[in-house]
Chain A
Amino acid sequence: MDSKPIITKETKNRISVDYEGKPSLKERILRKLKASHTWVKVLINIFRFILMLGVSYVILFPFVSKIAGSFMSITDVVDATVSLIPNNPTLDIYKYLIVDNHYFAALGNTVLLSLITALIQTFVSCLIGYGLAKFKFKLNKTIFVLVVVVMLIPHTALEQAMIMYFSQFDLIVPLSFDKALPGIVETITGGRIDLKDTFAPYIIMSLGGLAFKNGLYIYLMRQFFKGVPDELEESAYVDGSGTFRTFLQIILPLSVPMMITVFLFSFSWQWTDVFYSDIFFYEPGISTAPTLLPDIYEQVPIHLENAFKEHSGYSMYTMVINNTAGIMIILPLVIIYLFCQRYLVQGIERSGLVG
């Protein structure tokens, strides 16, 4: 018996077909309910959903408790019956963090620094990644190994040397502070430059592709460009476009999704960084460096300190203040992330990294 298909509905992309002897909808549902594999599937789905929910809870709960704490007054902090919802909600902590700790000034500086370094790092990683992925030259492999090695040597080991290097900046010469050998900058200008307390060390490190985790960015860009078919560039060359024009006009627009991923990483890691501001800036007392956002942390606002210093719950209250400072540090970052998170995953997905 051959059953003729009957077209019931047809649109541009979909077609639904009926055939003779097809069981009724009710019967089909019953059959499906009886089949064991349906139940296994449902169980797996439920299990998976609960698991994901659990992990999400682990990630998000610390933020929830911090946010809840930030609205508490000192009496709520001491009160053992208050866990998440404060009895006397107040915005005091926010207010004094903004006023006493100069929140907005710090925010402006951090935005500036993060933007500069992230843009430079993204572009430089893009250049280096493209060079490593698409061109054959003798040192290609060596340079890639160097990229990994630079990422491997922790900057904590180089801390002291970096402090010395940037406080008496000169190119090339090792042990330049020792005056054993004259440096390039010194012979030209007659002296060394103190680059500490400025953004210059960040910019110099970024320009060389040597800043924090730049090896990862270079790797991501390299793998991305390896997935771009050569034919694309070849056709551009045939049409008379040079290497650099092809890079700027064809490759760069193509790599925007990946660049957004790299940008997001470098931007947010610079945003919360405290390690490099320790190295590149002098100590708080003598420093003339612009204050950055992380500086508002671990510094109790003067008004709150004067008001509650004698209170028995002061040490717990400082913890709450520190957590609130943390929330205020990452709040702008969270907003940016909410807008960009789509690109973070999509970009890396569409690119299809190759091994």
Chain B
Amino acid sequence: MSNDLKIKRRRGSLEKRRARAGYLFVLPFILGILLIYLPILIDSVWFSFSDFATYEETIMTEYGEQTVNRITTVGVGFKYYAEAFGDQNFYTALLSSVQQMLFEVPAVIIFSLFIAVVLNQKMLGRAAFRAIFFVPVIIATGVMAEINAQDVMQDAAQEGAEYGAGENAGNNIISMLDVQALFANMQVGTELVSYVVDLVNNIYNIINYSGVQMLIFLAGLQSISPSIYEACQIEGATGWETFWKVTFPMISPMILVNAVYTVIDAFTRTDSPATEMAREAGGGLGGAMSWIYFLIVALILALVGAIASSFVFYQRRD
């Protein structure tokens, strides 16, 4: 009897064993966090509160006594944070980074949802379009993004020279003036007009940034049961109604995911003004700038998450 009990206790219940197996599966991540990530994280936070200093140390080697330079850190408190907050340029960079992000998130989400819905329909050349639309996500990253950016800059310089300095819209697809004329009679705010113009002129970037989001939306659209659409058709709903009453609520969890992903993607890109400034500054000041920027983005992310999750609809899956 007592022997039985002992065995039971050692092996644990099914639930406990399952939990243990779960820990084993996520073990690489736990080890990675504890052994690699945490030291790096603590170091980099500490760097933003400290200065580097070198000192000489004499050590015994096989060739006799030798002096080597060693690096150490000296805590300076909030010095670099104060410096970052006192820098007017940093405010400007921060503001333009956040503005860029706020511009990009809705643009990318609307664009990728639209394209995903279209690519999900049966149409001529669908396979070819799908292949083309995911080219940027595979190819236009890293060094290629750099090359493209340089290309755009060169084009702008060239066209600027051709059209003269007065017309800076030479490389734009549509001119601000045309659109303003078009919208002038429609009684919509100038903010909306300039947003649309920015959207069209940045279409290349927006396409480049929407690849993963398109893929996630496409997967989400595929997981909506066709029987719901059949029911809609039988009830006589139009395509417009079906989209807003069925597709949109069903895809809303994916909208949340993509909103979070787009914020993260925009934030971790190396070419945002604030990140570039922090990298240029380097050392403790750069670290302080990075962490301030991170805190702001974390706040934005929490806000986006809170707003998005209030209208997300989860279908019960039983």
Q: Give residues in A with beta carbon < 8 Å to B.
A: 45, 48-49, 51-52, 55-56, 58-60, 62, 66, 124, 127-128, 130-132, 134-140, 143, 146-148, 150-162, 164-165, 171-179, 204-205, 207-210, 216, 218-219, 227, 243-244, 247, 261, 264-265, 268-269, 271-275, 294, 297, 319, 322-323, 325-326, 329-330, 333-334, 337-338, 341-342, 344-345, 348-355
Contact = CB atoms under 8 A, between A and B. Distances in A.
Given A59-B132, A179-B70, A274-B142, A204 B36 contact: yes
B44 A177 contact: no
Given A171-B39, A274-B146, 6 more contacts: A49-B123, A55-B133, A174-B43, A210-B33, A272-B145, A348-B219
Contacts of A128: 25-26, 28-29
Interface in B61-78: 70-73
A312 to B, nearest CB: 15
Contacts of A349: 218-219, 222
Nearest to A52: B129
B39 A172 contact: yes
A136 B22 contact: yes
A150 B33 contact: yes
Contacts of B278: 156-157
A321 to B, nearest CB: 11
A164 B72 CA distance: 11
Interface in B191-219: 203-204, 207, 212, 215-216, 218-219
B139 A333 contact: yes
Interface in B102-117: 115
A261 B216 CA distance: 11
A91 B133 CA distance: 30
Contact of B290 (A59, A154, A294, A338): A154
Contacts of B121: 48
Contacts of B279: 156, 159
A333 B143 CA distance: 13
Nearest to B290: A157
Contacts of B142: 269, 271-275, 294
Given A143-B30, A208-B31, A274 B143 contact: yes
Interface string B126-168: 0101111111111101111111101100100000000000000
A185 B232 CA distance: 65
Contact of A56 (B132, B264, B287): B132
B297 interface: yes
B28 A154 contact: no
A338 B139 CA distance: 12
A132 B186 CA distance: 52
SS of A interface (majority): helix
Contacts of A268: 138-139, 141
Nearest to B216: A353
Contacts of A271: 142
A355 to B, nearest CB: 3
A294 B138 contact: no
A297 B143 contact: yes
Interface string B27-63: 0111111111111111110110000000000000000
A344 B82 CA distance: 48
A351 B218 CA distance: 11
Contact of A140 (B22, B151, B254, B312): B22
A-B CB proximity, top 6 nearest: A208-B32, A355-B253, A135-B22, A131-B25, A272-B142, A352-B223
B268 interface: yes
Nearest to A295: B143
B228 interface: no
Given A158-B41, A174-B39, A208-B35, A334 B139 contact: yes
Interface of B: 15, 18-26, 28-44, 46-47, 70-73, 115, 118, 121, 123-125, 127, 129-139, 141-148, 150-151, 154, 203-204, 207, 212, 215-216, 218-220, 222-223, 252-254, 257, 260-261, 264, 267-268, 270, 275, 278-279, 282-283, 286-287, 290-291, 294, 297-298, 301, 312, 314-315, 317
A58 B210 CA distance: 14
Contacts of B24: 131
A161 B41 CA distance: 7
Contacts of A138: 19
B29 A153 contact: no
A207 B18 contact: no
Nearest to A272: B142
A62 B137 CA distance: 15
A219 to B, nearest CB: 8
Contacts of B39: 161, 165, 171-176
Nearest to A152: B264
Contacts of B212: 216, 265
Contacts of A49: 123-125
B193 to A, nearest CB: 21
A309 B35 CA distance: 51
Nearest to B31: A208
A322 B146 CA distance: 10
Contact of A160 (B35, B47, B203): B47
B13 to A, nearest CB: 12
B147 A344 contact: no
Contact of B123 (A45, A147, A205, A354): A45
B261 A135 contact: no
Contact of B270 (A209, A275, A326): A275
Contacts of B29: 124, 128, 143, 146-147, 208-209, 218
Contact of A131 (B22, B143, B222): B22
Contacts of B70: 179
Contacts of B125: 49, 52
A219 B47 CA distance: 31
A216 B268 CA distance: 13
A62 B148 contact: yes
B37 A210 contact: yes
A174 B301 CA distance: 28
A319 to B, nearest CB: 6
